[in-house]
Amino acid sequence: MTLLKPLLYFSLFRYPLTEEEIFAFSEIKDKPKVKKELQALVDDKVVYKIADFYLCENNPQLVERRITGNKRANKIFTKAQKVSKFIARFPYVEGVGISGSLSKGFYDDDGDIDFFIITAPKRLWIARTFLILYKKIFLLNSRKYFCVNYFIASNSLEIEEKNRFTATELVTLIPMFGNGSFHEFYKQNTWAFSFMPNFSSSQPLQNLSEVKKPLITRLAEKVLNTKIGDYIDTLFLRLTYKRWKQKFNKMDERQFNVALKSTQNVSKHHPLNFQKQVINRLNKKYEEYQCKYNIHLPKEHA
């Protein structure tokens, strides 16, 4: 019953799925088989169907929550497009994508807009610092519409952590602006489509717009395309790493290196280590369903 995997995964976010979505996030390539297995799960009261949605508990409020969140996502997406374009104009930004809940078509008042950013090689920390300074100075450090917490350099695009969480984030990512880096990104992360083979890596790239830099950005890049730029980028990396190590000194080294990865080619700022939390909660769900329904699902790895 591998169809339970996407249902249980999205149940962690209180997000019911349609039959089409279950098929997309499953490992089964036969749609009639998906329909048949879903009906069997409903008949056995393992899952429930309310309107066009399947969920792991008989709770109509979750369906109402999803529909409301979908409507809000449609309204906020225009703003996300504008912010994406704005971010793309910053120095050394080569690609901007929308991630998080909005990339799955959901938004609520407590959420924020997450951005995945690809930068030029050896200039990730300059690009990141410019964006963080903008957020702190002009947005008073508000992240609601400007959550820039994942940066990756275009010379090192393969995602190191390969699990159901990162695969889901990757296949639902919405590339907005880029000059070719996203094409290479998907080439280097084909592993994600082994988790969800019904997704296509070419589909997200259909609406990708080119990054056009203003004159001031081009001038800044010209000045920083020197040894001075090398020095500044390394300095920003060291300063950020030192500050995070001091601030999160209770976090063990292994957890820190995943949640707050700070290398020349990657910057992540996920102090709650949401990835690990999700995988742990998902495995607990698997155990519950094995005890309750005698359905065995192999554990996920963070």
pLDDT, tens digit (0-9, with 9 covering 90-100), for 116-141: 999 999 999 999 999 999 999 999 99
Mean pLDDT of the chain: 95
Share of the chain above pLDDT 70, in %: 100
pLDDT in tens, 144-166: 999 999 999 999 999 999 999 99
Q: What is the mean pLDDT of residues 102-115?
A: 94
R_g (Cα) of the chain, nearest Å? 21
Domain ranges, ordered by start, for the chain: 4-58+279-293, 76-271
Is residue 103 very low, low, confident or very high in pLDDT (cuts 50, 70, 90)?
Answer: very high
Instruction: In whole angstroms, give the CA distance from residue 101 to residue 165.
Output: 13
CB 8 within 8 A of CB 56: yes
CB 152 within 8 A of CB 182: no
Helical packing angle, 164-172 and 4-11, nearest 10°: 90
Confidence label for 30 from pLDDT (cuts 50, 70 and 90): very high
Alpha-carbon distance of 16 to 294, in angstroms, equals 23
**pLDDT for the residue 32:** 94
| pLDDT score at 260 | 94
Summarised one tens digit per residue, pLDDT across range 171-191 is 999 999 998 899 999 999 999
The string of pLDDT tens digits covering residues 59-71 is 999 999 999 999 9
- This prediction has a pTM of 0.95
Confidence bin at 237 (pLDDT 50/70/90): very high
**pLDDT 10s digits, 188-219:** 999 999 999 999 877 778 889 998 899 999 99
> Considering the domain 4-58+279-293 in this protein, what is its CATH number?
1.10.10
SS3 86: helix
Q: What pLDDT, on the 0 to 100 scale, is given for residue 1?
A: 67
Residue 284 corresponds to which tokens in the numbers above?
């607990």
Of all helices (H) and strands (E), which one includes residue 136?
helix 124-138
